[in-house]
A and B are shown apart, each in its own frame.
Chain A
């Protein structure tokens, strides 16, 4: 952004300071008024619809639940204590297990997506210009297909009548006529297929701009394949990779559709726990407390990533 040029001070001093902004002379006040007018509707909407509701979340997380699910205006730490395991029936690790499971699942989903995305990105970038558009479209279609449909589609694909379950039952891995859901396997399939394009697309844009001379130089100097990747490819694709990681890690932490449809009680994640409090349990204060913890978890993960992007990157 250009700094506004100040008018020449040696001339007779005007009462209002005249500045040059985008080729136009105006007083500083006029410019401030214009920028305020331009941003205020949008900012107002963001503040009213995102910031204030989030603050109300903060307030509600310290209230308690009445007998009929209403909010009772007393200050309490109970919701956070409950999340840490101190429930009505003594200590239980249930909620902490769910939080740990969410972090583990978000981590591994992101990792699997990265591992699958690298070959995909190089494959896309090495297609000739003519067919590349087609391959990209093939990647964009699942990316834009509705999440509920895609998750339900896995439910169909994993049904006992389908080839995948039949093959596995022939091999004796599962019993005949049992579906491959609910369970961690199905949830991982759903998660990875949902978020793969979120990693693959930014990674592709990074790979497309890759400076191959660095890769060749590394190869000429007899670097092992791993070393070529670590020193020549990884740092160059880091910008795309970090965008992909953010776009995957953040939503997987809060995901509830996929575990809800493809998983059972054993694959319950933070998102399901929150949804439960706002649905059947109608315990908003507890739900708000969990949401707050989720928000802190994702924000701290983001900050950690920004501070320390990856080894080998300056």
Chain B
């Protein structure tokens, strides 16, 4: 048994190495002084310094954050209400199955299908109304479309966890329904809503496919920018940019871990 366990650890550690080798390559080249090619030319922070003054990149960073924040705000509200409406009320079995099928659509369909479907839908709207040039607005709609489900499914888990007892107690004490919602249900759902919002935000930052199809010339985001520069030929600034994004990811993951871990500990007490 002992031998098999060490083999297991070896295989697991090798898998981790496999996951991290490419990422470490990017980080290494972001401090490489030679501008062309991949030979080592000494250590430098130059690319990071240039990054701060690159307006195209700053604009793309702004677009990415704006898109993420707006779409997350809207989809969190819609997804939370949806979860309460579906999982706190009695439904006929058939309607519940239908609603759940709709809710699971984005999880079980490749995103490229929704992306091209949105492209067609937006162009039909544009054809008849003249509105809806592809750009930030269409991207926000595209992101909301797939975020809602993930928020609703996250909130659903929390709804199941907290049970209905406290809401019922509030109703017994003659709290009006809006009061039950705002003073009882939403505060208790808060961790679930928070987790759903964080998930939605990271999905938005991570998304490439939906943005790629629904973006306009002025609404480039960071992933789109990196993709475009890979096609054109990469400058070392892109390595620096990618490294910064990776570091931010690490910070976010650790923060999220701490957040959920603390919550778990609090709930256990």
Binding site for B on A (CB under 8 A): 1-4, 21-24, 31, 34-39, 41-43, 45-47, 49-54, 56-57, 60, 116, 119-120, 122-124, 126, 133, 136-142, 144-150, 152-157, 159, 161-162, 193, 196-197, 225, 246-247, 250-251, 253-257, 261, 271, 274-275, 278, 284, 287-288, 291, 294-295, 298-299, 302
Instruction: Specify which of A46, A119, A255 is in contact with B103 (CB 8 Å cutoff).
Output: A46
Interface residues of B, count at CB 8 A: 95
A153 touches B26 (CB 8 A): yes
The minimal Cβ–Cβ distance linking B243 to chain A, given in whole angstroms, is: 9
- List which B97-134 residues lie within 8 A (CB) of chain A: 99, 102-103, 105-114, 116-121, 124
Tell whether, in the assembled complex, residue A256 and residue B78 are in contact, meaning their CB atoms are under 8 Å apart: no
Residues of B within 8 A of A37 (CB): 85
Q: Which residues of A contact B13 (CB under 8 A)?
A: 123
New contact pairs (18) apart from A46-B148, A254-B111, CB-CB < 8 Å: A1-B89, A21-B90, A34-B89, A36-B85, A38-B82, A38-B84, A41-B82, A42-B79, A57-B117, A57-B120, A116-B11, A116-B15, A120-B15, A124-B12, A138-B20, A148-B226, A155-B230, A288-B116
Partner of B38, one of A120, A141, A159: A159
The answer to whether the Cβ of B61 comes within 8 Å of any Cβ in the partner chain is no
* Inter-subunit contact B20/A142 (CB<8 Å): yes
What are the residues of chain A within 8 A of B108 when measuring CB–CB? Answer: 246, 250, 298-299, 302
B63 within 8 A of A: no
Contacts of B234 in A (CB 8 A): 152
Is B9 on the interface with A (CB-CB < 8 A)?
A: yes
Residues of B contacting A35 with CB < 8 Å?
A: 85, 88-89, 91
Q: Which B residues contact A (CB, under 8 angstroms)?
A: 4-5, 8-9, 11-13, 15-16, 18-23, 25-26, 29, 37-39, 77-79, 81-82, 84-91, 96, 99, 102-103, 105-114, 116-121, 124, 141-142, 144-146, 148-149, 152, 164, 167-172, 177, 180, 202, 205-206, 208-209, 213, 222-223, 226-227, 230, 234, 238, 242, 245-246, 249-250, 252-254, 257, 261
19 inter-chain pairs at a CB distance below 8 angstroms, sorted by A residue, are A21-B90, A22-B88, A43-B102, A51-B102, A52-B121, A54-B117, A119-B8, A120-B11, A123-B9, A144-B202, A144-B253, A145-B245, A150-B23, A152-B226, A152-B230, A250-B109, A257-B209, A278-B116, A287-B116
Closest beta carbon of chain B to A31's beta carbon, Å: 7
Q: Specify which of B8, B39, B106, B208 is in contact with A257 (CB 8 Å cutoff).
A: B208
CA gap between A246 and B213 in the complex, in Å? 24
Is the beta-carbon distance between A278 and B213 smaller than 8 angstroms? yes
The residue on B at minimum CB distance from A119 is B11
Residues of A near B253 (CB, < 8 A) are 137, 140-141, 144
Cβ B261 vs Cβ A133 within 8 A: yes
